[in-house]
Structure 1
Amino acid sequence: MTERTSPAATAEPGVARLLPWPGEDGGPAYLTPCGGDGRLAALADEVERAQLASGAEVACCARPLIVEPEVTVRELRWTALRLLECLLDALRVAESRGARLTGEAVGRG
């Protein structure tokens, strides 16, 4: 299987791809460089597109709610949680794509 829980688990040269979903242990999941053009990579691409589209939709819907003077605290809290989820998805996509562009390992400081 090409999915890994750590980029250090692969001996192949190159950069492990950070996948847009968590691994079995809840931590980051990676795709080894040799698995970069297969079905799992295509699925990851589709999930990333859906995550970014969802973020754009949530941001669009949140804008009028945030400026509404009669919005409740509960509505604002729910909106903030959705925006946070979208932001975290977008940051993961950016980290994964940035690492692939620069050739740097993901998740290592």
Structure 2
Amino acid sequence: MDDYEQMRLLPWVSDMGKPCYLVGDPDGVVATFADRVEEHQLAAAQAVLAEAHAVLDEPAAGALALRLALKKVVASLADVLRIVESRWKELR
């Protein structure tokens, strides 16, 4: 397997907005930090999903509440999809 196939997509981007990758020790400090960031992102996504359900279950919720809930869901979904993309490469 070459280095490209062993690269791990990290859960953050560079200052220029470009994806960051880890090449090297999959159990090192950077990988461990990335694991913690991903765990935090997944926990946050669960909380956002619960909040979105609460907004949707509230008949009196207005357009602003729905819009804010949707913005949070979209941001969390982007994080989760990035984690899936990173992990999918590991599973193949």
Could you tell me the TM-score, scaled by structure 2's length? 0.91
How many aligned residue pairs are there?
A: 91
Greater helix share, 1 or 2?
2
**Alpha-carbon distance between aligned partners in 1 of 2:71 and 2:50, rounded to the nearest angstrom:** 15
Q: Does 1:94 align with 2:84?
A: yes
**Alpha-carbon distance between aligned partners in 2 of 1:96 and 1:12, rounded to the nearest angstrom:** 15
Give unpaired runs (5+ residues) of structure 2: none
Q: Does 1:25 align with 2:5?
A: no
**Alpha-carbon distance between aligned partners in 2 of 1:22 and 1:13, rounded to the nearest angstrom:** 18
Give the alignment's Cα RMSD to 1 decimal.
1.4
- Aligned-pair CA distance for 1:21: 0.6
- Aligned-pair CA distance for 1:100: 1.1
Deviations 1:22-50 (A, max 9, x none): 12210211001x23221110000000000
Q: Secondary structure at the match of 2:6?
A: coil
AA in 1 matched with 2:59: P
**Alpha-carbon distance between aligned partners in 2 of 1:29 and 1:86, rounded to the nearest angstrom:** 19
Conserved 8 A contact 2:51-2:69:
no
Matched-pair identity in %: 36
**Alpha-carbon distance between aligned partners in 1 of 2:48 and 2:86, rounded to the nearest angstrom:** 22
Q: Does 1:12 align with 2:3?
A: yes
Match of 1:38 among 28, 34, 39: 28
Deviations 1:82-108 (A, max 9, x none): 000110000000010010111xxxxxx
Q: Secondary structure at the match of 2:75?
A: helix
Q: Secondary structure at the match of 1:36?
A: coil
- Aligned-pair CA distance for 1:13: 6.0
* Distance verdict in 2 for CA 1:65–1:13, change over 3 Å: closer
Give unpaired runs (5+ residues) of structure 1: 1-10, 103-109
Could you tell me the TM-score, scaled by structure 1's length? 0.77
